[in-house]
């Protein structure tokens, strides 16, 4: 039975986050419900594929690497509950239709499909999910280590959306670099944009930074142009990176990159190689999810705009590679021109 | 008594907005409470100076020209209720301490101070307020007329915050140009940024455009970089313009101007000459109001970020004049280099 639970390795315990994003227990699989943060720290059980799909679609779990991991564990959980191979393949199809932009979801599900199609046993299928988690954790710590070359003592840095342990295994991606810098005594200060419409910066990044006691200032996106010039560097994550380095990330990233160019501030993208889609030559080929107008028309239970307003609400935007100073992966720091054609 | 009420002239009735922002009645002075829009259209009575100050501070009324007008009428209302000249001068001081950035407030209050200091009768003091209103109304219609040269049929235009009849007498400033273009059959489409933190775009501009049935799309500021390239022009208002054309306006304006430069989109500022402060040689001298962190930390009754978060919440930013394609005033269209030194 222990091989159906497993325990990921490779995470230097000194840097382990003080909260668990995924709980993989003897018979239960649950995730920290990020919609409730920072007000409540509650776990949402994902007993079946339908609930797992809902959790991903409604952003109870989000972050490109994390949704890949959660999808893999949803398949593993179904396998250990003796789903047939046919059901498992259906599950993989359902999970792959939850969100279109982050490529990690498809990469992880393809790994799961391979083991299912090889008639893998429940133990082997669970092992596959645990292996994926372990690899992504190791990548997170490697990115955090490489990124230290880009961050000096007492730097004032910016970030965007949420890219910590709530978004990716280990320490996360971009935020992992900042967390490691702080834990190494670099005394950084972070500027956190709230990230409309769903406020992942205000709700999640501010919360994660407060868990580590990292000093930060929260700002609206409307205040960014006035503050980017004070920053030494900006670190963001990615949902999909094309072969030429064009990067899809949370909507607002491109605007932040334009401000960085305007004020001469280095703009770094941080993502594991599982976020690179070498099949796409450039960013215009990345499918961009458009989400419900309700996210913009109302706030919680309070409507904030005329109900019939037409809304444009893309969840992501694409930052052209020439706005990106460097891309940090687990392999090191890549600088332009980027060329990941045929990488995988 | 009629001279204590008055009726402003100069507003071509075909273009009159389908709602009243200010109600100046026989014995009552009230304003449309903009905090309740778009959900409720309620009027807030301003029986005394304390309430008028509160209405301005809490943004029940806002918009650079409008707060000047409301302050002037608050003084006139006190005068017709037989306040002493000493009380009226105190009232002017109190009103001038409500908000620091928009210069129109001080310009209007100076006009009121003049008539009070000349021992003006209640009738004369009321007449002064009505004159100020009439002048600003006339300016609004003149700006709307001049601006038509900048706007062609079927243009897709952007704006920011709220600059319509809720922000200034007549048709407003920037939005007045768009409203007149629509009423003249130009079939424009407007992109409306929601304008965090207080959502004047989502709550007020979307509502005003819907009153005129002008097609619009609402976007978050985070989505702006992805859509500005599609626009033919952007029109914004101003809270204070320095002699060199540097313009303080709602926070987020500078970011929008940077995007306009990036994508080669003309960026127009629209304001009456009462918004020009020729005493200030450049924008860095404009005092920028910083507002409560609560505006960013919570939304309505719902907290959205850790309560102890440090917040940077300026209400305005300054767009350097070299980002501004032209400035439309009631006198015409000014182009760089701007030089309003010693104008007034």
pLDDT value of position B343: 62
User: Which residue in B220, B256, B262, B291 has the most chain A C-beta atoms within 10 A of its own C-beta, making it the best mutation to test that interface?
Assistant: B220
Residue of A16 and B306 predicted with greater confidence: B306
Residues A198 and A250 sit within 8 Å (Cβ to Cβ): no
Are A196 and B254 inside 8 Å of each other by CB?
A: no
* CB burial readout A174-189, b (16+ within 10 A) else e: bbbbbbbbbeeebebb
pLDDT at A9 over 50: no
Are A300 and B303 inside 8 Å of each other by CB?
A: no
Please enumerate in sequence order all residues whose Cβ is within 8 A of that of A198, keeping only pairs 6 or more positions apart, or say none.
A59, A295
pLDDT mean over B44-55: 98
pLDDT value of position A275: 96
Identify the CA nearest to A74 among candidates A90, A53, A60. Answer: A53
Are A258 and B254 inside 8 Å of each other by CB?
A: no
pLDDT value of position A302: 79
What confidence category does residue B4 fall into, taking pLDDT thresholds of 50, 70 and 90?
A: low
pLDDT value of position B298: 84
pLDDT at A1 over 80: no
Residues B244 and B324 sit within 8 Å (Cβ to Cβ): no
Closest residue in B to A315 (Cα–Cα)? B223
pLDDT mean over A36-54: 96
Which among A220, A310, A314 has CB closest to B196?
Answer: A220
Per-residue pLDDT of A297-309, as tens digits, reads: 987 677 889 989 9
* CB burial readout B32-49, b (16+ within 10 A) else e: bbbbebbeeeeebebebb
Given the residues A33, A239, A246, A317, the one annotated as active site? A239
Which among A38, A250, A303 has CB closest to B39?
Answer: A303
CA–CA distance, B73 with B71 (Å, rounded to integer)? 5
Q: How far is A123 from chain B (nearest CA, A)?
A: 41
pLDDT value of position A10: 46
pLDDT at B342 over 90: no
Q: Which two tokens stand for residue B175?
A: 């939005």
Q: What residues 219-238 of chain A have any CB closer than 8 A to a CB of chain B? A: 219-227
Annotation marks residue A246 as catalytic: no
* Other Cβ atoms within 10 Å of A266 Cβ, number: 15
pLDDT value of position B193: 98
Where are the strands (E) in A15-143, listed by range?
22-24, 29-32, 43-45
pLDDT value of position A7: 41
pLDDT mean over A21-41: 95
Q: Give the predicted TM-score (pTM) of the model.
A: 0.94
Among A105-114, A318-327, B99-108, B299-308, which is the least confidently predicted range?
B299-308
- A-to-B residue pairs, Cβ atoms closer than 8 angstroms: 180
CA–CA distance, B7 with B127 (Å, rounded to integer)? 10
Omega before A337 within 30 of 0, i.e. cis? yes
Average pLDDT, chain A: 94
Identify the CA nearest to A24 among candidates A1, A41, A56, A40. Answer: A1
pLDDT at B115 over 80: yes
pLDDT at B6 over 90: no
pLDDT mean over B1-7: 43
What confidence category does residue A4 fall into, taking pLDDT thresholds of 50, 70 and 90?
A: low
Per-residue pLDDT of B120-149, as tens digits, reads: 999 999 999 999 999 999 999 999 999 999
pLDDT value of position B284: 98
Are A225 and B254 inside 8 Å of each other by CB?
A: yes
Furthest-apart CA atoms within chain A: distance in Å: 57
Residue A311 forms contact with B (CB below 8 Å)? yes
Are B314 and A226 inside 8 Å of each other by CB?
A: yes
């Amino acid at each position: 039975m222990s091989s159906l639970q497993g325990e990921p390795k490779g995470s230097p315990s000194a840097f382990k986050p003080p909260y668990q994003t995924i709980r993989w227990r003897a018979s239960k699989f649950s995730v920290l419900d990020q919609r409730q943060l920072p007000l409540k720290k509650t776990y949402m059980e994902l007993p079946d594929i339908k609930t797992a799909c809902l959790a991903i679609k409604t952003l109870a779990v989000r972050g490109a690497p994390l949704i890949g991991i959660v999808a893999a564990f949803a398949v593993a959980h179904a396998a250990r509950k003796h789903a047939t191979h046919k059901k498992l393949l259906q599950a993989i199809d359902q999970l792959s239709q939850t969100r279109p932009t982050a490529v990690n979801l498809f990469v992880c599900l393809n790994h799961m499909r391979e083991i299912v199609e090889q008639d893998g046993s429940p133990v082997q299928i669970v092992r596959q999910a645990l292996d994926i988690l372990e690899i992504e954790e190791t990548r997170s710590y490697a990115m955090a280590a490489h990124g230290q070359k880009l961050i000096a003592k007492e730097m004032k840095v910016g970030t965007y959306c949420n890219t910590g342990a709530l978004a990716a295994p280990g320490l996360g991606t971009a935020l992992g670099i900042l967390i490691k810098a702080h834990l190494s005594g670099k005394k950084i200060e972070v500027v956190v944009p709230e990230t409309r419409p769903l406020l992942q910066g205000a709700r999640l990044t501010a919360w994660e930074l407060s868990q580590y006691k990292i000093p930060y200032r929260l700002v609206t996106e409307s205040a960014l142009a006035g503050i980017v010039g004070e920053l030494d560097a900006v670190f963001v994550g990615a949902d999909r990176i094309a072969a030429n380095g064009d990067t899809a990330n949370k909507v607002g990233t491109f605007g932040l990159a334009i401000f960085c160019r305007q004020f001469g501030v280095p703009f770094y993208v941080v993502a594991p190689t599982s976020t690179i889609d070498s099949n796409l030559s450039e960013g215009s080929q990345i499918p961009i999810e458009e989400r419900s107008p309700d996210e913009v028309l109302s706030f919680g239970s309070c409507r904030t705009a005329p109900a019939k307003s037409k809304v444009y609400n893309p969840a992501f935007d694409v930052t052209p590679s020439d706005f990106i100073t460097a891309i940090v992966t687990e392999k090191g720091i890549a600088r332009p021109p980027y060329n990941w054609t045929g990488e995988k």
